[in-house]
Amino acid sequence: MQLLFKELQPVDSFIIQMPYPLADRDRHLVTMLYKPIVGSDAMSLYFTLWSESEAQTVEELTHYYLMDVLNMSLKKIFDARVALEAIGLMKSWKKDNELKRTFIYEILSPLDAATFFSEPILATSLYSVIHEKAYLRIRERFVKKPLLQSGYENVSRDLQDVFKSNHDYTKLSHIFTPEQLDQPSRPKKLPLYSLDFDFDLLKSGLSDVMIPSNVLTLPIKELIAKVAFLYSLNAIDMQKVLMMAIDDQNRITEERLKKTAADYYKLSISSKPPRITQKLEQQSEAVPQEGKPSKDQALIKYMEETPPLEVLRDISNGNEPLPVEVDLANELIFKYGFPPAVVNVLLQFVLIRAKKKLNKNYVHKIAAHWQRENIQTAEQAIEISRKEHDQYMEWQNAAKTPAAPYKRKNVREEKVPEWFFKAKEERDTNSVTENTVSPELKEQRRKLLEELGIKEGKVN
């Protein structure tokens, strides 16, 4: 990065230009869509230049004026300016003289809402800095649903149906000079002036059989460069994305390419949405540490910031995960709708306790339970895995237990009535009574045998 005084000095003058008038809707678009991305300083500069451009006379001002009005340092003004330039809200032109340096600051209008949300860099950047509910509310506010016109006939008249002309405009062509008709147009897409992407390397790994050359049209190539920039993907990564994005009819649509790149990023790089940050070097002040995070905090941070493939590598001591493990991670994300952080907790819980042996049925059983419990964060996943640990271990042991021997199913088991046990108890009591002889009875029996002259144990 060059030193600031080589880029800008307070004595440098500037002139503001606005090629077309901006309306209140543009103000709403900039405030709601662009401000969360570039920050308050950039918006203050943008609205100040906008206000100054509406003056009746064009006046040359110095940057001392901006520093005074905005109450900002020259460094902050420069950072705000380049942020506006990068996001397409401003252009800067410079002219160096021996005596002074002059700039022209051209204020540009924002993209319309539909175009903004179709740009992957802008839409994803906005989503990454605001809450999901706020993002959906803003999108519904600006992107109106088309009116239902099915069943209606267009009865609008054309110009020639209503008006007629008595002049031969071919004789008046001299009044329609190109200079008079050439007016600057509003931007229709995000300016990406430098596509620093290696398309030669991308094509070298793709044959015409896999990706026909006619598929890579100019809009698709521009979108490839944008999503590669947004998700920090190289040409090798984009080869995999294109292979997943192409359909059965050898077509790649913009929506399919955006979704595939987002899914690849979520699985391979990070579970958090990407954010665009300025390359400018900032002097960061040392922030005092309040103490080391707890083990749970460190674990949650690891689960939230690490992609599932990296977690699988860590569990396998750096070895590449097996295809079945990768497929299972994909199923947990796309079939059950779990965030990557929840998938990380589930994979680590199962693989570590199962000694790195994967049982798909066991994983799906826990996943179904978590889906019913609406587990959406790593903290919730860790909590339920500890709470239901014993239950999950029973499921795991049941999955390991071999099948029981063949047993007739659907055999009706008759309930034994209570009277059966009472009758059995009475029979057992009588049997004991009959087989038990009391001493008194024995003595009477002995005397009777003596009277009869019979010794006990002998029969005459």
Domain ranges of the chain: 4-110, 112-144+191-277, 295-400
pLDDT in tens, 399-426: 655 544 445 455 555 444 554 455 555 5
Q: Are strands 101-107 and 13-17 parallel, antiparallel or unpaired?
A: parallel
Interior CA angle at 129 toward 115 and 373, to 5°?
A: 105
Which of residues 171 and 281 earns the better pLDDT score? 171
Residue 194 has pLDDT above 50, yes or no: no
Helix, strand or coil, per DSSP, at residue 334: helix
Residue 41 scores a pLDDT above 90 = yes
- Greatest mean pLDDT among 89-98, 206-215, 227-236, 277-286 lies in 89-98
Q: Which of 249-258, 281-290, 335-344, 443-452 has the lowest mean pLDDT?
A: 281-290
Whether 231 contacts 274, CB under 8 Å: yes
Given CATH 1.10.287, say whether it is the number of domain 4-110.
no
How far is it, in rounded angstroms, from Cα 135 to Cα 138?
5
What pLDDT digit, counting tens, does each position of 351-383 carry? 776 666 667 787 888 888 888 888 888 888 888
The pLDDT of residue 188: 66
The whole-number pLDDT of residue 428 equals 55
Q: Which residue has the higher pLDDT, 374 or 275?
A: 374
pLDDT of amino acid 16:
92
Distance of CA 97 to CAs 100, 102, 204, 291, 420, Å?
5, 8, 48, 55, 116
Q: What number is the average pLDDT over the span 225-241?
A: 81
Residue 103 main-chain phi, psi, to 5 deg: -120, 150
β-bridge mates for residue 91, sequence order: 106
The residue written with tokens 């994979």 in the block is 347
More confident residue, 171 or 74: 74
Q: Quick check: 57 pLDDT over 70?
A: yes
Residue range 148-163: average pLDDT? 76
User: Is the pTM for the entire model greater than 0.85?
Assistant: no
Highest mean pLDDT among 1-10, 13-22, 178-187: 13-22
pLDDT band at 1 (very low <50, low <70, confident <90, very high): very low
pLDDT at 56 over 80: no
For residues 156 and 415, the model is more confident at 156
The yes-or-no verdict on residue 147 having pLDDT over 70 is no
Residue 322 DSSP one-character state: P
Distance CA 402, CA 400 (A): 6
Q: Sorting pLDDT into bands at 50, 70 and 90, what band is 459? A: very low
Alpha helices in 269-409 (DSSP H): 295-305, 308-315, 323-334, 340-353, 360-372, 378-387, 389-400
Given a cut of 50, whether residue 285 has pLDDT beyond it is no
Q: Look at residue 45 and tell me whether its pLDDT is greater than 90.
A: yes
Q: What confidence score (pLDDT) does residue 31 get?
A: 92
CA 112 to chain CA mean position, Å: 24
Q: Which range is least confidently modeled, 117-131, 282-296, 347-361, 433-447? A: 282-296
d(CA 74, CA 152): 59
| Per-residue pLDDT tens digits for 79-121 | 999 999 988 899 999 998 877 889 999 999 999 888 898 888 8
Higher pLDDT among residues 296 and 181, named by residue: 296
The residue-averaged pLDDT of 282-292 equals: 44
Residue 105 pairs in a beta bridge with 16, 92
pLDDT tier at 187, thresholds 50, 70, 90 = low
For 328-341, b/e burial (b = at least 16 CB within 10 A) is bbebbbeebebbbb
**What average pLDDT does range 239-261 have in this prediction?**
84
Contact 34, 110 (CB under 8 A): yes
Which letter, b or e, does each residue of 184-195 get, where b requires 16 or more Cβ atoms within 10 Å of its Cβ? eeeeeebeeeee
pLDDT at 283: 40
